[in-house]
Copies of this chain bind each other. A is one copy, B any other.
Amino acid sequence: MTLKETGERAKKAKRALAKLTTDEKNSILRGCAKALNENSRDIIKANAIDLENGRSAGLKPSIIDRLILDEGRIAAMADSLEQIATLPDPVGEMLNMRTLPNGLIVGQKRVPMGVIGIIYEARPNVTSDAFGLCIKAGSAVILRGGKDAINSNIAIIKLFRDKIKALGFESDIVQLVEDTSRESSTEMMKMNGYIDVLIPRGGAGLIQSVVKNSTVPVIETGVGNCHIFVDESADIEKAVNITVNAKAQRPGVCNAAETLLVHRNIAEKFLPPVIKALREKNVEIRGDEAVKAIVNDVKDAVEDDWATEYLDYILAVKVVADVDEAIEHIAKYSTGHSECIVSESYSNTQKFLSEVDSAAVYANASTRFTDGNEFGFGAEIGISTQKLHARGPMGLKELTTTKYIIYGSGQVRG
């Protein structure tokens, strides 16, 4: 099937989907969850082909690990669909309804986006999660996963489509682009009129490619060069805990900290214990001259370090003169994801929260909380680092749009 045909089918299916009640959408999600659990062996068989191909192709062990599907992971995918079924439906909410002086009753109704495109890499669980979130939000979804997971993805989507059809609904509400060539990805980015929004999920390279090449509106997700600033008045114990948690609790994710900024008046008291605690978690420290003057065996931080999202057990550390220098540094190097000030100063905290221009700005808490589940959304499609439409963790609501509904009684404009 050509991508245009896929687009035509999605465009037709979105209208059928938009008419379903919440109960009907939930029955699809629960049906697909059941189908996953009952057919896990078929998926594992398809996944085995991907794993074999991946090993022959010499994929890195970390990528192979993301690719593996076993009973446990498939059950987790099913649980996730069940969980999405329990969430409130955002569609249909009426916002700001009011009567204008001329008697027109105007409100904004929350409605589905229409067709959502997801371009992603090797995690086959994204196939199931993204499907669940888009369907619950009332939009048809076109999934374009990476070639490494193609057999797993085909098996999962076949299962879903068969189940949806068996339940009596339009199976084209979910489609997989089976052509995993670069061309199919580029073509998908130009499908204006078919796809209403494109969400890339994956590494910085994939995201930048979509941002650069897509003429379809994009929600940019994910890259996080996150900062912790420890102010002179910080509670040392809180500051150590927050820094260690933000860096080392799970370093491979976008909300992990990459740079620690320390006020010069607390550097001598704070740096030795925090670096000791970080090193116990195997974190490598790269510091500026001031850091190296206080702690031994610190590697040089070079200009590149301030701009790097390590996603690894490495932390860049810099001593700054005050909260203003910290804010300047963040303005210069941050990707606008998550930043934190650790401080007992009312004024410096308010200043930092007000002036730092990132999706999530914290006082005295780990940046690791920037997450849809932690924020209480129940599910997450990604974390937006752009300013349009959605900023920060995106749940079901962020997968919808609104339209104005106007009830009149014959009004014309004068």
Contacts and interface: CB of A to CB of B under 8 A. Distances in A.
Interface of A: 15, 18-19, 98, 100, 104, 106, 108, 111, 113-114, 192, 196-197, 211-212, 215, 217-219, 235, 237-238, 241-242, 244-246, 249, 331, 353, 355, 357-366, 368-370, 374-376, 386-389, 391-393, 401-413
A392 B387 contact: no
Most chain B C-beta atoms within 10 Å of own C-beta, residue among A217, A242, A365: A365
B217 A192 contact: no
Nearest to A242: B412
B410 A241 contact: yes
A197 B388 contact: yes
B387 A401 contact: yes
A408 B217 contact: no
B114 A357 contact: yes
A389 to B, nearest CB: 4
Given A15-B355, A249-B412, A389-B388, A104 B369 contact: yes
A240 to B, nearest CB: 10
A361 B114 contact: no
B403 A360 contact: yes
Contacts of A408: 362-366
Given A197-B388, A249-B413, A388-B389, 9 more contacts: A15-B357, A100-B375, A106-B375, A212-B215, A357-B403, A361-B405, A364-B409, A366-B411, A369-B411
Most chain B C-beta atoms within 10 Å of own C-beta, residue among A106, A241, A359, A388: A388
List of 8 A-B pairs having minimum Cβ-Cβ separation, nearest first:
A365-B408, A245-B412, A387-B401, A238-B410, A368-B413, A389-B389, A360-B404, A364-B408
A113 B336 CA distance: 13
Contacts of A357: 15, 18, 111, 114, 403
